[in-house]
Amino acid sequence: MPRFSIIVPSHGVAGRLSLALDSVLGQSFGDFELIPVCDAPDAPAWAVAAGYAERDSRVTPVSSPPSAGLAGARNTGMRAATGAYLLFLDGDDTLAPGALTALDARLAETGEVDVLYAGHERTPWWEGEPANPADPLFAKAPRGAFPPAEAPGITGVQLPVWSAAYRHDFLTAHALAFPTGHFTDIGFGGLVTVHAERVAVLRSVVVRHLLRRQGSRLNLPGEHHADLLEQTDLVLTAAAGRGFTGDLFAQLFAAVLKTAAHPARLPASHRRAFFRRATALHRRHRPAGFRRPGGSLGVQHRLLAAGAYTAFRALRGANRKLSAGAQRIPRPRGLRTRLYYRLQLRRRIDPHLAVYCAYWGRGYACSPAAIHAKAAELAPHIRSVFLVEPDQAHAMPPGIDHAVIGSRRAWRLLARAKYLVNNANFAEGVVKREGSVHVQTQHGTPLKKMGVDQSTYPVVAAATGSFTKLLGRVDRWDYNLSSNTHSTQMWERAFPGSYEHLEYGYPRNDVLLTATAEDVARVRRELGVPEGKTAVLYAPTHRDHRTGFDAGLDLEAFCEAAGEDVVVLLRAHYFYDQGVRRGSGRIIDVTAHRSAEDVCLAADVLVTDYSSIMFDYANLDRPIVVYADDWDVYTETRGVYFDLMAAPPGPVARTPEELARVFADGSYDSAASRSLRNIFRARFCQFDDGRAAERVVRRVLLGEPAEAIPPVRPLAERVPAPAASTLVRS
């Protein structure tokens, strides 16, 4: 029997789960079992937990359906546990170094106790000093073990469940489990307090709790706040006749009154009913001789006991500060334009209007364009308008309605559109209206650090600007697209918010699986690829520590060394698209070409350094070569999410000579290269099956339920667009 069983629910925190598991497996005290509780064997968190289980026999993942909630996940973990003491750790929290050693040492001092309460830190997600809320509670606690009545302020109502170790036999003897519904911590913690006979405290910090940027889900508005009354009733009913003082009663009703005093938490139609039911509970369970607290809280107790809802509502209105919900005035340029935009915001939302934008207005491109095209087919009743910069308006395809960014028409459309789709972000001043739907399509799979994860890289952070403003833009998102579970997890970390992940694939990649041989031949002709030549797409990424474009490779020399049949399609990062051609001879500059997907279709081979184009190109199942001449510098200055050198999509070359050699000897498409590519595709091409745009249109624009959306076709059943005949493929 292990000393500790550590149960880690993981719903919605797959992106941070590895941090929690690492904090447990890195403990110096090793007598434990680790039980991650995942939604299902095909859930993103399961893949993370299963990887740990393969490496460490102490890790045993179990599954609990999301419908069972947090209570169901913890109860599932409890049933699987075999340890003497149980600990609960949220999937985005961590155990402090030495935590298990400290718990074991304290239990050796106190002897067997039913509950050992411990200190914890609440760590702000971004900035600020961590705090230990348990310190004041523990200050006057007895030194050894004690019955709960000796320190009535120390209860499971005051302390979260992950701030304690629970004796397994004690929980089993009293059939204690987490009650269903919301506020299950209060119910479980209260029941533990009622039944415990010997408890103790450990003043050192055991858990570091991450305060989420979006706050606790329990504080969001909704009918779920009625569950707080259910948990209160459950605990106080169990406590009846067991000699408890008014402390437990006061702690529970402090939480009840806090909810009643915040009207935004409850729908207007439920506030009076919540108050009346709380009044009934207060009268039923109030202990004899209960002394109300002083101040405003005491007045609230008096009004609740009297059932005086009208007076309570008046007190609440007098104490409530002005809502911070008055949205910041939008800042489109020019006073007249600002006033015009504010006026448009007063008009009703147009339920049949969708506004699209790609790459900050660079034109009709990427996933927004793919969704736009599919919407024209499946949702023709939706009027779609693309936003573009003034110098790109002339390049819009015929028949595509568009508006120039910054114009009065553009601001009118942004104010009134029901649907707003972008692969970057709309302007700072765009207001997220209630009822509007914002879709963030992203424009690549993250290898390099993104979003708030860039904060520890000074060069990148300086260029990013205000992270506060960045997160303000994230708060507008309702949906965020993902093409693989790696992306889902990294977006969750890089852009913390309350949006929903849509693991539908990237719509821009649909064409990589639906294009025909005629499409490939047409694109090659348009780009000027000579008949019978092998087209090598060279796509280097942006370097944050450099200014201006640097190819990083002598492309003419490469062509000479690679063979006379090779031509290079040069695709610089879109930051460097200045309309200046850099190609000559066997070098064809395709940087300014509108569609990166067309360029990929035309290429027989991809050579890139660390550009996310490799993840998209892998859908074609064509050779990929990584040219990593400055990997160490890049990882130091930009940061990456995984070691590309350890898991590349093909051969890795670090010098021009090595790069030329893999082409000269054909190893760029050898069996070993194909093996690497197969592993890479299985990991990063999970959801790109040619129907991503259709899924988005059906779910977002047509409102079809999630279960009606076409499932993702398995990778083995997909047929990529054919390569040009110049490349003999296996």
Name the residue type at position 129.
Answer: E
Determine the 3-state secondary structure of 6 from DSSP: strand
Average pLDDT for 232-259: 87
Query: How far from chain centre, in Å, is Cα 381?
Result: 32
Max mean pLDDT among 217-231, 485-499, 655-669, 690-704 falls in 690-704
Non-local (6+) Cβ contacts of 498 within 8 A are 214, 475
Least confident of 93-107, 304-318, 330-344, 457-471: 457-471
Query: For the purposes of burial, counting CB atoms within 10 Å of the CB of 200, is it exposed (0-12), middle (13-18) or buried (19 or more)?
Result: buried
β-bridge partners, 123: 210
Average pLDDT for 418-422: 98
Work out the number of other CB atoms within 10 angstroms of the CB of residue 40.
Answer: 11
Beta strand pairing status for 94-95 and 199-211?
antiparallel
The pLDDT score that the predictor gives to residue 16 is 81
Determine the 3-state secondary structure of 169 from DSSP: helix
Q: Token match 């081979």: residue?
A: 605
Structure tokens at 633: 């510098």
Determine the 3-state secondary structure of 90 from DSSP: coil
Q: With 50 as the cut, is the pLDDT of residue 321 above it?
A: no
The pLDDT score that the predictor gives to residue 27 is 96
Secondary structure (DSSP) of 581-648: ----TTEEE-TT-S-HHHHHHH-SEEEESS-THHHHHGGGT--EEEE-TTHHHHHHHT-BSS-TTTS-
The pLDDT score that the predictor gives to residue 560 is 86
Structure tokens at 256: 């009840």
Distances (CA, A) of 338 to 199, 323, 345: 62, 23, 11
d(CA 642, CA 18): 13
Q: Which residue has the higher pLDDT, 457 or 120?
A: 120
Beta strand pairing status for 605-608 and 587-589?
unpaired
Name the residue type at position 265.
Answer: R
Q: With 80 as the cut, is the pLDDT of residue 244 above it?
A: no
Query: How far from chain centre, in Å, is Cα 173?
Result: 39
Structure tokens at 327: 């949205």
Determine the 3-state secondary structure of 118 from DSSP: strand
Q: With 50 as the cut, is the pLDDT of residue 330 above it?
A: no
Average pLDDT for 48-66: 94
Say how many Å lie between the first and final Cα of the chain, rounded.
53
d(CA 113, CA 663): 69
Structure tokens at 154: 């120390």
In degrees, rounded to 5, the angle at the alpha carbon of residue 551 between the alpha carbons of residues 549 and 555 is 150
Q: With 50 as the cut, is the pLDDT of residue 252 above it?
A: yes
Mean per-residue pLDDT of the chain? 88
Q: pLDDT tens digits, residue range 700-714?
A: 999 999 889 999 999
pLDDT bin (cut points 50, 70, 90) of residue 698 is very high
Which alpha helices (DSSP H) does 334-423 contain, by range?
335-345, 366-378, 408-416
Percent of the chain, pLDDT > 90?
A: 62
H or E segment to which residue 522 belongs: helix 517-527
The pLDDT score that the predictor gives to residue 327 is 37
Q: Token match 């779910």: residue?
A: 699
The pLDDT score that the predictor gives to residue 417 is 97
Determine the 3-state secondary structure of 150 from DSSP: helix
d(CA 639, CA 460): 9
Q: With 70 as the cut, is the pLDDT of residue 136 above it?
A: yes
Percent of the chain, pLDDT > 70?
A: 91
In degrees, rounded to 5, the angle at the alpha carbon of residue 574 between the alpha carbons of residues 572 and 576 is 65
Average pLDDT for 594-605: 93
d(CA 20, CA 96): 10
Average pLDDT for 717-725: 89
Structure tokens at 254: 């402090």
Q: With 70 as the cut, is the pLDDT of residue 679 above it?
A: yes
Q: pLDDT tens digits, residue range 286-319?
A: 988 888 888 778 888 888 888 888 888 777 665 5
Structure tokens at 214: 């979006």
Q: Which residue has the higher pLDDT, 348 or 564?
A: 348
Q: With 90 as the cut, is the pLDDT of residue 636 above it?
A: no
In the β-sheet with 605-608, what is the strand arrangement from edge to edge?
587-589, 566-570, 534-539, 605-608, 624-627, 652-653
The pLDDT score that the predictor gives to residue 466 is 73
Query: For the purposes of burial, counting CB atoms within 10 Å of the CB of 282, is it exposed (0-12), middle (13-18) or buried (19 or more)?
Result: buried
pTM above 0.75, yes or no: no
Query: Left if phi > 0, otherwise alpha if psi is -120 to 50, otherwise beta: which for 625?
Result: beta
Q: At what angle do helices 335-345 and 408-416 cross, to 10 degrees?
A: 30
Burial 439-462 (b: 16+ CB within 10 A, else e): bbbbbbbbbbbbbbbbeebeebee
Query: For the purposes of burial, counting CB atoms within 10 Å of the CB of 514, is it exposed (0-12), middle (13-18) or buried (19 or more)?
Result: middle
The pLDDT score that the predictor gives to residue 353 is 97
Q: Token match 């992203």: residue?
A: 442
In degrees, rounded to 5, the angle at the alpha carbon of residue 409 between the alpha carbons of residues 405 and 415 is 90
pLDDT bin (cut points 50, 70, 90) of residue 454 is confident
Least confident of 224-238, 474-488, 555-569: 555-569
d(CA 648, CA 250): 59
Instruction: Tell me how many helices (H) and strands (E) the chain has.
Output: 27, 21
Query: Left if phi > 0, otherwise alpha if psi is -120 to 50, otherwise beta: which for 444?
Result: left
d(CA 194, CA 327): 46
